[in-house]
Structures are given as structure tokens and as C-alpha cells.
Amino acid sequence: MPRFLLFAVVFIEGFCSLGAEVIALRQIIPHLGSSIVVTAPTIGFFLLALALGYHAGSKIDGRFREVVARNFLLAAVLTGVGLAGVAVDLLFAYLKPPGLAYLFFVAGVLCPIAWLLGQTVPILTNLLHHDRVGKASGEALYWSTLGSFLGSLSLSLLVMQWLGVSAAVALCALLLVVGFVLLRARRWATVIASLIVVALTGVANAWLRPEIETAHASYLVLPVNYDGAVNGRALKNNSSVASLIDDSQPPRYARYIRHIRSLLLDDLAWHGRQILVLGAGGFTLSHGEPRNHYTYVDIDPAVRAIAEKLFLGQEARGTFIADDARRFVVRSEQRFAAVIVDVYGSHSSIPGHLVTREFWQATRRVLDPEGLLIANLILDSALATPYSRNLLATIESVYGRCAVDVLQKQQVLANVVVTCRNGPLPEPARLFVDERNAADFDLARSR
């Protein structure tokens, strides 16, 4: 086999193996979020399968091109179909709990891809029999690692951003088909097998999934019926309903949006204020609201155009900034009357760096001295789980006592709107007890 073709195959292996990992991490975000307890095991299982692939490849002692060609074809099927969004969605829809679907996805799709492709370098270096072992393995590893480097950057920063996740899946599958063709003799069986894989990849990634995909999320607008709605529609972000709107006058929005709008416009009667919204959703907070100016910050640059074209049907009010929420509040010199935190990557999953004490401290620096923090959280309606109690305690460690409104008390999970006022932290609370009851004294100095 010519050296340049051999190293081209090795380059494709590196590109597609790390590409499969990047795509897998992106595809599970709508179902499990992007926390470290999800990403770290996924990377660990992938590396374990890769190591086992290296070991399996070292034991192959003949039919080198045929074995690698077979591996590439199987990996192409697993990539083009198994990593497709529709396949991942179906897996998590029908396998419960989500942890079981995750294990099935990792063990049945991601790890087999890593194991099959991990065999490539140990097997193909056998064809470099005129070179020293060190030279042969070093060159092969160079081209494989270079492919991994370029695959991780190009798929995440170029292909997913411009063309979507499905395009990244299809690209990896098609490259594996190219590697399969390079390794096989030109015959009808090769052509037929390649066309079948290309067709399956096209069906799974282009025809079966109607969502608009970006590197950060998958969006879909669907008609919905809810109380009082006329031509109601929902904007789904990563398979979760992010915003609601309809054509009634005035429009009916999601309940937590109505709650926040009522607080700002009716209770406080704000006019001419600067309001920062972290997490754009469907831009419904400022819809039909000319009294105040809204600045939306969202990590996905495409979200505004998608919302305007498919959801709102008109231009969104306010300024839009594509940035990470935490980075913005750390760097911005602007001050706002209110900061509204609505930063969900998927249903009930806030990115981990946006729940820490340091993040809530950073939100204070962009608030006016008496400004409001308003956070939309999805928690258990009883506020009894460790996550609920600890998240609320974290916010109040920065802002002091906050108002907590549970909007759907009859549901297991509910929108919980937390409202805090900026200002100096109050003194630590003390309990009233019979032996030393300071209630009257505290009441007197509070008036």
C-alpha cells in the first residue's frame, strides 16, 4: 500500500475517532446536560475502548488491509446511524431511566467506534515493514494525532457552527467510507457497501430529524395547545420547551415569563430601565414591551435569527450579545436595574459554572446598588432535594434572604422564581428561643 494512502487512512482514523467523541458529548446534552459527572465518564469510557482497540490491533497477524477496511465500514455505520440525533433521541425516549440509556449509548455506540478505530495504527504499521519500529509507529501516531487535533477543532468550531451537528455526523461517516474504499480493491461489493452506508447516513441525519442544529443546541418550533392560547407555538431547545407564545391579544407566554413581566411592569411599574437577560430562550420577555430596554446574552450566536424567523415572526426587541453568561457578567462594565438568569441547556439542567457562589457574586457587580436578581430555576416543587436546598442556599449566601415563588406546586418539577435585592448583606440570622427571646427588640429596630 503506498505510504501516502496508508497515512491518509490513519489521518481519517484520528479525525473520526475524536470526532465521534465530540459528537457524542454534544448529542447527550439535551438528555443529561453537560456537567462534569456526564462528560468525564464519557471521555473515560472512550479512552478505555480506545486502549482495548490498540491491544486488539496488536494481535492481528495477517489480512491487515481487510481487517481495517471491515472496521472502517462498521464504524461508519455506527457513526452515521448510531450518533445521529434521531437515534439518540429514540434511545433516551424508550429506555428509562436516563442512566440506562446513557450506558447503552456508550457501550453500544461510542465504545465500539473507539475500539474499531483504535486497531488502525497497530495493524497498519505492519505494512511499513521497511522502516524501523520506532519510525513506523511514530509517523503513524503523528498522522493519527494530527487528524484528532483537526477533527476536534473543525467539527466543533466550523462544521457544527455553520452546518449543524447532523452535518458533523455525516462528515465523519463519509470519511470512514472513503477510508474503507482506499483499503479495498475496486470491486462491486465495495461500491454497494459504500452506497448503503451513505444512504443510511443520509436518511438518519437529513430526513428523519427536522430540528435546526447548531454547535450548542437543537431547535424546533411546534404547535401547542395551552390555556387561552390562539395558534399557540412552542420553541424547543434541546428537546425541552424553552418558550411559549400565541397570537391572542395580549399574547400568552410561559407562566414564569408572565410572572416576571408582571413583577417588572405591574408591581414595580418600571419604565426606562436597563434589564439584562442571561439566556435568550424565545425573546418573549421583551415581546411587545417598549417601556424598558433589554440586553440578551446567550452562548449560541444563531438563537436570535432562529427565534425571529420561526417562533416570533418578527424582530426581537432588545440588544443581543453572543457570549457565555458568566464571562459577560465578569467583564461587563454596564450596570442594570435587573439581571434575569434563565440559563438552561436542557430541561432542568443548568451548566455547572452558572450555579456556583462565584457566579452569583459576579451577577452583583453588574447590578445597580438596589437592583434585582431574578432567577428562573426548575426544581422539585417541594424544594426538598439536596440540589434545590443547596442551590437556594448558595444564592442566599450572596444576596441574603430572597423571595422564592414555586409556580406549579402540583407538579414534581416546577418553575421556581427567585427574587433577590442587591445591597449590603444582612447580619447573620439568630433563632428566637424562650430563654433569650429577642423578637420584640428585633421588631423595634426593624421599623
| DSSP states along 77-138 | HIIIIITSHHHHHHHHHHSSSHHHHHHHHIIIIIHHHHHHHHTHHHHHGGG-TTS-HHHHHH
Please state, in angstroms and as integers, the Cα–Cα distance from residue 440 to each residue in 426, 434, 436, 444, following that order.
18, 12, 11, 6
pLDDT of 98 reads 86
Q: CA-to-CA distance for 178 and 16, rounded, in angstroms?
A: 12
Nearest to 85 by CA among 220, 273, 258: 220
Higher pLDDT, 228 or 202: 202
List, edge to edge, every strand of the sheet that includes 274-278.
Answer: 319-322, 293-298, 274-278, 336-341, 367-380, 413-421, 403-406
CB 68 within 8 A of CB 123: yes
pLDDT of 15 reads 97
pLDDT of 208 reads 52
Pick from 232-236, 237-241, 292-296, 389-393: least confident: 237-241
The hierarchical CATH code for the domain 254-421 is 3.40.50.150
Higher pLDDT, 327 or 86: 327
> Model's pTM, two decimal places?
0.78
Give residue 89's pLDDT band: very low, low, confident or very high (50, 70, 90): confident
Across 271-301, b (16+ Cβ under 10 Å) vs e yields: eebbbbbbbbbbbbbbbebeebbbbbbbbbe
pLDDT of 351 reads 82
Point out which residues pair with 294 in neighbouring strands: 275
pLDDT of 78 reads 96
Q: What is the mean pLDDT of residues 133-141?
A: 84
Give residue 174's pLDDT band: very low, low, confident or very high (50, 70, 90): very high
Q: CA-to-CA distance for 355 and 325, rounded, in angstroms?
A: 11
SS3 at position 338: strand
Please identify, in words, the CATH class of the domain defined by 3-213. mainly alpha
| Grid cell of 384 as nine digits | 426538598
183-193 pLDDT tens trace: 987 778 888 99
Q: What is the mean pLDDT of residues 113-135?
A: 87
pLDDT of 48 reads 97
Higher pLDDT, 443 or 254: 254
379-410 pLDDT tens trace: 999 999 999 999 999 999 999 999 999 998 99
| Grid cell of 303 as nine digits | 438563537
SS3 at position 242: strand
| Residue range(s) of every CATH 3.40.50.150 domain in the chain | 254-421
Higher pLDDT, 209 or 230: 230
Rounded to 5°, the CA angle 35-40-43 comes to 130
| Residue range(s) of every CATH 1.20.1250.20 domain in the chain | 3-213
pLDDT of 130 reads 65
Nearest to 281 by CA among 250, 247, 251, 256: 256
Q: What is the mean pLDDT of residues 349-378?
A: 92
Nearest to 285 by CA among 307, 309, 300: 307
Q: What is the mean pLDDT of residues 73-83?
A: 96
SS3 at position 350: coil
Q: What is the 3-state secondary structure (H, E, C) of 365-425?
A: HCEEEEEEEEEEEEEECCCCCHHHHHHHHHHHHHHCCCEEEECCCCCCEEEEEEEEECCCC
| Number of Cβ within a 10 Å radius of residue 254 | 23
Residues 6+ apart with CB under 8 A from 309: none
Higher pLDDT, 319 or 98: 319
Maximum Cα–Cα distance across the chain = 93
Percent of the chain with pLDDT over 70: 97
Give residue 444's pLDDT band: very low, low, confident or very high (50, 70, 90): confident
Q: Helix, strand, coil % (nearest 5) of the chain?
A: 55, 15, 30
| Grid cell of 72 as nine digits | 472502517
Pick from 45-54, 98-107, 234-243: least confident: 234-243
Give residue 230's pLDDT band: very low, low, confident or very high (50, 70, 90): confident
Q: CA-to-CA distance for 319 and 439, rounded, in angstroms?
A: 48
